[in-house]
Amino acid sequence: MEIVEIALEDLNPTAFIQRQVDEISAVVGDGLAINALSGGVDSSTVTVLGHKALGDRLLTYFVENGIMRQNERASVIATFEALGIPVQVLDARQQFFDALKGVTDPEEKREAITQTFYKEVFGRLVKESGARYLLQGTIYTDVEETVAGIKRQHNILSQLGIDTEATYGYTLVEPLIQLRKPAVRKVAHALGLPESIYNRPPFPGPALAARVIGEVTPERVETVRAATAIVEEELAYTGAFQYLAILHEDRVTGMRDGKRAFGQQIEVRCWESEDARTGSPTRLPFDVLERLAERITAIPGVVSVTYNIATKPPSTIEAV
Ligand code: XMP
């Protein structure tokens, strides 16, 4: 891997920001660039860097792909409106669910999401807007895991030898590619992003599709979305690296209203980690686990709640 990491202790955020703003300006010239803002720390940081460099020549989109968390769209738009950065919404729900229909293999699922984002959604945006550049928040860890063959991160293209200019019609600009998450947080803080963003737990590009084992349908996403909202509410106090809910494919026998219910299972994970390379489960108090079980089994169809106690490795942070 040729990309050289900038370690947290070597990072001078002010100098880094200036260098990236200059670089984006130089690369894009007087043209247009687009970027997709999910509201996570990486894409938020790139949005502010791009906006500093290009002003209204940066077209920022929130892609409504149907697999985001509760209230994500409204809160992202409100946060960036307050920063004076306009965000347009692109409804691509049908395209994503069509691409995910019948797909159960994890890597195929990731590939379906990559193609829908880069070929369908961004490809069309680029064609319609006349932009030739796509700014995105790829970070060092994304490249590392993909190149190591652990997981194909949704946003890795050129590092896999894909010529985006020839394949999709635009060039990628990746200002954060030398940083790991803690360094990105430092840059985000220096850029004046609110704490709700610079301290936000990571969330994967494939969104809730990374947390549904088996087929990703609107109904199954709805179930994991409801569980995610509960887990995020109950575990925010831990300050853990990441906490999430996973919907399993296997069903188990349960009971509801005195009758047999062949129901769904939700797995909760809560990770202690520095930079997602390794992780261990948070030692949650049992009363917290009980509250999670009580609230999550109130979701229609869910009869079982488990807590993952394995470390990464051999587990990974997400399930897909
Ligand atoms: P894993 O599951 O591989 O995750 O242990 C490591 C970190 O990366 C996040 N993640 C992703 N981020 N695109 C992303 O931008 C992806 O495809 C992706 N998959 C996993 C995950 O949430 C964790 O923080």
How far, CA to CA in Å, does 72 sit from each of 50, 63, 67, 145, 254? 21, 11, 10, 26, 32
Per residue in 29-65, pLDDT tens? Answer: 999 999 999 999 999 999 999 999 999 999 999 999 9
Q: Which residues line ligand 1 (CB under 6 A)?
A: 142, 145, 151, 153-155, 202, 204-206, 210, 242, 276, 312, 316-318
d(CA 50, CA 204): 21
Average pLDDT, the chain: 96
User: Nearest to residue 29, comparing CAs of 177, 136, 174, 131?
Assistant: 131
How far, CA to CA in Å, does 172 sit from each of 56, 99, 169, 267? 19, 23, 10, 36
Q: Which pLDDT score is estimated for 152?
A: 86
Among 140, 317, 320, the mutation site with the greatest number of ligand 1 atoms within 8 A of its Cβ is 317
Segment 9-28 mean pLDDT: 98
Going from the Cα of 142 to the center of ligand 1, the distance in angstroms, rounded, reads 7
Going from the Cα of 281 to the center of ligand 1, the distance in angstroms, rounded, reads 16
Question: Are the C-beta atoms of residues 168 and 114 closer than 8 Å to each other?
Answer: no
**Burial (CB count <10 Å: 0-12, 13-18, 19+), residue 273:** middle
> Which ligand 1 atom minimizes the distance to the CA of 319?
2
Question: pLDDT-based confidence at 1, cuts 50/70/90?
Answer: low
Going from the Cα of 210 to the center of ligand 1, the distance in angstroms, rounded, reads 9
Residue whose CA is closest, atom 11 of ligand 1?
A: 204
Helix (H, G, I), strand (E, B) or coil at 79: helix
- Inter-residue long-range contacts of 259-264, CB under 8 Å, 24+ positions, other chains counted: 261/303, 263/301, 263/302, 263/303, 263/304, 264/223, 264/301, 264/302, 264/303, 264/304
d(CA 158, CA 162): 5
As given in the structure block, the two tokens for residue 127 are: 């064609």
Going from the Cα of 294 to the center of ligand 1, the distance in angstroms, rounded, reads 28
As given in the structure block, the two tokens for residue 282 are: 């948070």
> Which ligand 1 atom minimizes the distance to the CA of 155?
13
Among 142, 180, 213, 278, the mutation site with the greatest number of ligand 1 atoms within 8 A of its Cβ is 142
H or E element that contains 310: none
Q: Which pLDDT score is estimated for 159?
A: 84
Per residue in 201-210, pLDDT tens? Answer: 999 999 999 9
User: What are the two backbone dihedrals, phi and then psi, of residue 198, each rounded to the nearest 5 degrees?
Assistant: -70, -20
Residue whose CA is closest, atom 16 of ligand 1?
A: 153
Q: Which pLDDT score is estimated for 57?
A: 97
Residue whose CA is closest, atom 18 of ligand 1?
A: 204
pLDDT score of 111 more than 80: yes
> Which ligand 1 atom minimizes the distance to the CA of 40?
15
Going from the Cα of 319 to the center of ligand 1, the distance in angstroms, rounded, reads 10
Other residues' Cβ atoms within 10 Å of the Cβ of residue 240: 18
Going from the Cα of 318 to the center of ligand 1, the distance in angstroms, rounded, reads 7
Going from the Cα of 57 to the center of ligand 1, the distance in angstroms, rounded, reads 30
Helix H, strand E, coil C: the string for 21-52 is HHHHHHHHCCCCEEEECCCCHHHHHHHHHHHH
d(CA 320, CA 317): 9
Question: Are the C-beta atoms of residues 126 and 168 closer than 8 Å to each other?
Answer: yes
Q: Which pLDDT score is estimated for 129?
A: 93
